[in-house]
A and B are shown apart, each in its own frame.
Chain A
Amino acid sequence: MMSDKEKEERLNNTILILKDVLEKNNKKDSEEYERIQKLLKKRKLK
């Protein structure tokens, strides 16, 4: 079973991938992107 740290890591990866995909598809103005940004900030991710 995965440790908590690994789980956190996996969640972070997923969030970052979504951010990347939204950017690549010019979705910076979307509500989803805004929410992802908030999430990144909350989780102290770039």
Chain B
Amino acid sequence: MAAVYKALSKSSGAKADKDTDSSNGAVERKNKQRVLILSSRGVTYRHRHLLNDLAAMLPHGRKDAKFDSKSKLYQLNELAELYNCNNVLFFEARKGKDLYMWFSKVPNGPTVKFYAQNLHTMEELHFTGNCLKGSRPILSFDGAFETEPYLRVIKEIFLQIFGVPQGARKSKPFIDHVMGFSVADGKIWVRNYEIREVEKVKGEGEDENKEDGGDKNKGRKGKGGGGGGGGDKDTDISLVEIGPRFVLTPIVIQEGSFGGPIIYENKRFISPNKVRAELRRAKAGRHVARMEQQRDKLARRRNLGLEGGAKKDSSGLDTRELFA
């Protein structure tokens, strides 16, 4: 009897738990993400700075020393497990110039490999924004991410790696930046913006703040003090880029983590080596054509006896010979 009662009460209790779960899911639901961030050997300073920037933005990240292999990437799985990470963000540099970025969910995949181009780090001075270290970003995804399955996978992986989980250990309680992911030209463009709350043009009672609105930073601070919690309804949002910015070309998606069957391959991706070779070949082609032309010209001139060295064979019937 007691057992039956226990079972019954347990089931009902579980149900109640579920209910609470759905009502205040924020408490119950766990989004535990930890990201192992590391690079291969042979990264340039730019790649390294980008890595540092990303590490600074991810309070749930764990930066590790350079990984010493480019072929045995499956070893990263063990490494991630060692650090209790369930995501890996791996920078693979090749030839000291090309950067490939691997995003992987560790125990059982998937893995996405990108080719990264147009890197701009936070050090660059044309980005004027700034934000708290470890504040949770709002992730803004392009509508195109919902169209294709492979883009959906990429979106989910970005969501888990770049999204700072709620209540992460080193995260800050305010939200002051947006990360934008857009799809254009078959590539994924990543941007990071600061959210600045500025007074609307028709602000009432905050005109003294508007006076120093020219210095936006100051204006924001002044407003924050005045608004506090609910009073800042009438602020408008403007975005200022913080950096880093980069462009990712998806190359391959693997089912497993650094292994397993390939479930997506981008045929539009052309290896940078190929591009360079093509360029070189085009250049060489020009040179070859020119040399050939020159050779032809020389031969022609020689045949006509115009070139200095070899004179036209003087036959015995030449007028000069005959009437010398």
A binds B: no
**Chain A residues in the interface with B (C-beta under 8 A):** none
**Chain B residues in the interface with A (C-beta under 8 A):** none
